[in-house]
Amino acid sequence: MPPSSEPSPWWKSTGPLLALLVHAVYFLVLCPLHFSTEEWGRIRDRVRDVSSTSQWTSSIMQERGYWGLVIWYFDIHEEVDLYHRYAQLALRGVDVTQPAAAPAQGRLAPYRDVPVEYQPGALLFLLPPALFASSGDGYLHGFVIWCFVLYLAALLAGMHAAGGGPPTAAEAGRTLWWSVRFLFYFGGIVSARFDHAVAAVCVAGLWLFGRALRRPEAPGAFAAFGALAAAGVMVKIVPGVLIPAGVLCLLCGERRWRAALAVLGGFAVTLTVLHAAFAACWGQGYLQSYTYHMARGIQMESTYAGILMALHGAGHPLAVVKSFGSYNLMTSHARWLLPLAPVLLLALAGAVAWRFWRRKDARETSASPFALLMLTITLLLGFVLTNKVFSPQYLLWLAPLFAVACGRSEALEWPGLLFLLAAGLTQVMFPHLYRLVEAMDPLMIVVLNLRNLTLAVAFAWLLWKLPRILREGLGR
């Protein structure tokens, strides 16, 4: 028998396997590191000035030596306590913040009895660790593993979906090593937020879109893609960008109107049914999970906040208040800045659509999963830049998607490096030096604006180089 000319699967190559091993060590060995309650108590007792970084560092080293600094770097699991509370509430009807002997324990319902700031789809992503552990510590370890599963699933499925089939060993190696860089620049937050769910939904959309393109005579597949995006909106609103991205891919080039209408129909019907069902089940409590976010002000890491904080140094009045679980700016400029945010988002989305539509090779490079991936990345980046809230975990929406894209197109090296820089600058501010951001320390204001400017440059680069990126990513 002559030797086969088929290349070996990527998972049989040393480079990608080594990168996968680094992922496992990072998530399963480093990310679960945390100080016990007693250790944190001793560390705090030794600190006289809570704003002194040197005193915190000295106290941590007294507790655990240099290894203590490593633990400190990854110990950012406060939000997981909230996830544990919501998961216990949804799964067992128990609110861990109330006395165990309280009469209603075991019968409490989310939204109806206890306010929940997330949509019902988000609760589904918080439940799996609670199936195996009821204690807070057990949930934390389970949540780290769950984050690893979600992140790796999005990364590996994205590699296959973006190219319409298995990647080469070289593409897989580039993707996985880009991902390793992102992980180290993000720090422990990769295992402390459920935002991997957004990337997972977007990758599932890539896969469904690719299958639908192979069956253009069956509009039901495109309707399923729209339905998936609607279900994603029930997790967080941002997977909704799949809809304009998908419609652009279908109408730019071959003008697949029937498929585009199927996408819109699947989205509208599914969103209406889910919303009506949840509203009927939980009523006003469910609706408050939306009004909660709509009522939020200008969060102090947003693009607008960075500019306002810089102007504060020139004498513009500004105050920082804690509300909605974050730090927000109180300013007279809010009355015109808040309505401006959605206008700016629409303007950036329009620029992306115009650039995509006006390409010379639009017919050849539009209707593909990779084109959908690039539009999704660019639109998500535009959303992050123009939103009134910018939490560090928002970058987790983009990390696996960016890694997949960088693995397929060398034209993405510079925006990939800019994204790495933005993640690193975020680490400077959050979480361990965040009190300096709250105090509007001049250096932190510079870091904040530099981070946001870096992302703005990455967005502009993607917009400018979009035609070349699409040609390289599709091998044309």
SS3 319: strand
What is the C-alpha to C-alpha distance for residues 19 and 22, in angstroms, rounded to an integer?
A: 5
CB–CB of 441/367 below 8 Å? no
What is the C-alpha to C-alpha distance for residues 196 and 155, in angstroms, rounded to an integer?
A: 10
* Per-residue model confidence (pLDDT) at position 260: 95
CB–CB of 382/452 below 8 Å? no
Residues facing 323 on adjacent strands: 326
What is the C-alpha to C-alpha distance for residues 27 and 148, in angstroms, rounded to an integer?
A: 6
Nearest CA-CA partner of 207 in 181, 195, 182, 225 = 225
Beta-carbon contacts of 59 under 8 Å, excluding residues fewer than 6 positions away, are 43, 44, 46, 47
Q: How confident is the prediction along the chain (476 residues), in pLDDT tens digits per residue?
A: 445 456 789 998 999 999 999 999 999 999 999 998 899 999 999 998 877 888 889 999 999 999 999 999 999 888 999 999 999 999 999 999 998 888 899 999 999 999 999 999 999 999 999 999 889 999 999 999 999 999 999 999 999 999 888 999 999 999 999 999 999 999 889 999 999 999 999 999 999 999 999 887 788 999 999 999 999 999 999 999 999 999 999 998 778 899 999 999 999 999 999 999 999 999 888 998 888 888 888 999 999 999 999 988 777 778 888 888 788 998 887 788 888 999 999 999 999 999 998 887 776 667 889 999 999 999 999 999 999 999 999 999 999 999 999 999 888 999 999 999 999 999 999 888 888 898 899 999 999 999 999 999 999 999 999 988 888 877 64
How many CB atoms within 10 Å of residue 44?
A: 11
* Per-residue model confidence (pLDDT) at position 296: 86
Q: What pTM was estimated for this model as a whole?
A: 0.94
Beta-carbon contacts of 306 under 8 Å, excluding residues fewer than 6 positions away, are 445, 448, 449, 452
* Per-residue model confidence (pLDDT) at position 395: 96
* Per-residue model confidence (pLDDT) at position 274: 96
- The 3-state secondary structure of 400-464 reads HHHHHHHHHCHHHHHHHHHHHHHHHHHHHHCCCCHHHHHCCCHHHHHHHHHHHHHHHHHHHHHHH
Q: Report the length, in residues, of the chain.
A: 476
Q: What are phi and psi of 324, to 5 degrees?
A: 55, 30
How many CB atoms within 10 Å of residue 101?
A: 6
Q: What are phi and psi of 93, to 5 degrees?
A: 70, 25
Cis peptide bond N-terminal to 442, omega within 30: no
Give 240-291 as a DSSP string.
GGHHHHHHHHHHSSS--HHHHHHHHHHHHHHHHHHHHHHHHHHTHHHHHHHH
SS3 369: helix
What is the C-alpha to C-alpha distance for residues 387 and 47, in angstroms, rounded to an integer?
A: 37
What is the C-alpha to C-alpha distance for residues 103 and 101, in angstroms, rounded to an integer?
A: 6
* Per-residue model confidence (pLDDT) at position 1: 43
What is the C-alpha to C-alpha distance for residues 373 and 158, in angstroms, rounded to an integer?
A: 9
Q: For residue 62, what are its two tokens? A: 């007294």
Residues facing 322 on adjacent strands: 327
What is the C-alpha to C-alpha distance for residues 455 and 342, in angstroms, rounded to an integer?
A: 18
